[in-house]
Amino acid sequence: MDPHKPLIPVQYAHTLPAVATFPLYDRSNLGCGIAHIGVGNFHRAHQALYLHEYLQTHPHDWMVHGVGLLDSDVDLFTAMTSQDCLYTLTERSGTQDTLKVIGSIKRLSLAPAGSEGVIRLLASADIKIVSLTITEKGYYYTASSDLDADNPVIRADLAGEGAPRSAFGYLYAAAAKRMAEGGPAFTVMSCDNLPGNGHMTRRLLLQFAEMKDPAVARWIGDNVAFPNSMVDRITPAVTDKTTAFVRDTFGVDDRCPVVSEAYLQWVLEDNFAAGRPALEEVGVQVTSDVEPYEKLKVRLLNGSHSALSYPAYLMGYREVDAAMRDPAIRAYVQQYMDVDITPTVPPVPGIDLAAYKQTLVERFSNPAISDQVQRLAMDGSAKARNAWVPPLEHQLATGGSIRWLAFALAAWYRYLYGTDEAGDPIEIADPLRDELVARARSAPDDPTALLSMREIFGERPAADGRLAAAVKESLDAIRGTGTRQALERLLRQ
């Protein structure tokens, strides 16, 4: 048997009774109206699913041409291409597993292997929407929400040194080509966890373009729409266990499966330059104001994820659901949300805040997902800037509680030492890794070495003595007695 050939090719999965949904649309006859940059697990479990459901009843030219900017995208793209870009999505509620075969992605292109082809794709009149899931670190912005022109990747793209490396390099090149050829307007749709992600993407791309060619910047300002959006679905990393689970449970040998929780949400601003699929017909909440939903989700879900990840890792937990079964961590997450974060969240239409927070606790505790603590701890500098800094600024300005945020910061600083409490090494993945680790190791008892990084914390938190004292108190407790004892003492106070 050929070890590289799927035992049961996923394209035949519709013959299996366990499959809940399989493409009913003729994929060969539908065109791609969307180019998506950043085809990872989240996109495949979220936007691609919504588009798949839409195409089931609206077989129009809204399929996806996926683009990978990184060399690390090769393995996934190779696996997906071997299956005609079909893949399985397993939704796990904790009581039921549902297998879906998703067909909305039609083609894939690797930018490092063919940058000119990617630029032609993005500039094509067929592409009405360019969507993004490139994570916070892919936007290269400073604490003042400006483009980080000193970043080596952005600096190289601005200088035109070879093929583009950033999403902004490719978006600029596509806009310049459309302008030069009299091409049509298009939409750039960010689906990342950024404050006002549409506004932010517009600001950063315009700054990039202004440095390259002001005429292109003007064309972008006049012709490109940037809707805000909020996306939500917990999607853990795929491992060999994922592949084995899909094969053993459903009899499908998928080379590129993805698993997610059952919960799913997308709130999208109705601001498009060249049309869009009617996604409200498949459950997307289309609105004129995304901001309240975005603050709710980023501050409560993403912020709580980060806040629990560092103490949980130091306490020896590697799976989120296992950590949430620890009464101390569960109580900490609840206090973090209720005391420090809830006062910073504006009213959200149609949302019962207490019920929403209870749902988050249940989602974090889902044993069927068993998300990785280390995944939540990744890219802390980018995540803290979005999920922790705005609540900190609010609470410091109003005199509100920061004790639970301070504990999270102290645990993060201790995590940055690079070893856990058993002395085992921690693999720290962060765009600012070298500087963060250097600061933590050179001043292990002084958290101002972290808080003074204005590229993360901005001006107010970095200079606030109350915050520095609160983080120092928690850090001293963690260093002196260990994370568990420090957390349990905090909960008793």
| DSSP per-residue string spanning 78-94 | HHHHTTTT-EEEEEE-S
pLDDT given at position 16 = 75
pLDDT at 41: 97
* pLDDT (0 to 100) of residue 3: 44
Alpha helices in 213-352 (DSSP H): 214-223, 240-250, 291-296, 303-314, 320-324, 327-335
Q: Considering only 11-20, 49-58, 119-128, 199-208, which range has the smallest mean pLDDT?
A: 11-20
DSSP calls for 367-434: TTT--BHHHHHTTHHHHHHHHTHHHHHHHHHHT---HHHHHHHHHHHHHTTSB-TTS-B-----TTHH
The whole-angstrom separation of Cα 349 and Cα 347 is: 7
Q: What is the pLDDT of residues 25-61, one digit of tens each?
A: 999 999 999 999 999 999 999 999 999 999 999 999 9
Q: What is the mean pLDDT of residues 456-460?
A: 90
Distances (CA, A) of 35 to 27, 32, 356: 16, 7, 33
Task: Name which of 337, 261, 264, 263 is nearest 298 in CA terms.
Answer: 337
Percentage of the chain modeled with pLDDT above 90: 92
Q: What contacts 24+ positions apart, CB below 8 Å, involve 1-6?
A: 4/82, 6/82, 6/83, 6/253, 6/254, 6/255
Half-sphere exposure in the Cβ direction for 244 (13 Å, CA): 3
In whole angstroms, how far apart are CA 73 and each of 5, 39, 108, 113?
20, 8, 10, 11
Position 11 pLDDT exceeds 90: no
pLDDT class of 8 with cuts at 50, 70, 90: low
- Would you state the structure tokens that stand for residue 269, as one six-digit string? 């601003």
Contact 103, 151 (CB under 8 A): no
Q: Is the separation of the CB atoms in 378 and 432 below 8 Å?
A: no
As given in the structure block, the two tokens for residue 21 are: 């949904």
Q: What backbone phi and psi angles, to 5 degrees, belong to 295?
A: -65, -40
CB 333 within 8 A of CB 300: no
CA 76 – CA 94 distance, rounded (Å):
27
Between 167-181 and 152-159, two packed helices, what is the crossing angle to 10 degrees?
A: 20
223, 144, 137, 443: CA torsion to nearest 10 = 170
Position 131 pLDDT exceeds 60 = yes
**Helix (H, G, I), strand (E, B), or coil: what is residue 145?**
coil
pLDDT in tens, 88-128: 999 999 999 999 999 999 999 999 999 999 999 999 999 99
How many other C-beta atoms are found inside a 10 Å radius of the C-beta of residue 122? 25
Average per-residue pLDDT in the chain? 95
Quote the CA–CA distance of 267 and 212 in Å, as a whole number: 33
pLDDT digits (tens, 9 = 90+) for 357-409: 999 999 999 999 989 999 999 999 999 999 999 999 999 999 999 999 999 99
Task: Examine the pLDDT at 12 and tell me if it is beyond 80.
Answer: no
What residues contact residue 135 under an 8 Å CB cut-off, 6+ apart? Answer: 38, 192, 379, 382
| pLDDT computed for residue 1 by the predictor | 36
Based on its alpha-carbon atoms, the radius of gyration of the chain, rounded to whole angstroms, reads: 23
Instruction: Give the bridge partners for 24, in sequence order.
Output: none
- 5 pLDDT more than 60: no
Distance CA 260, CA 321 (A): 14
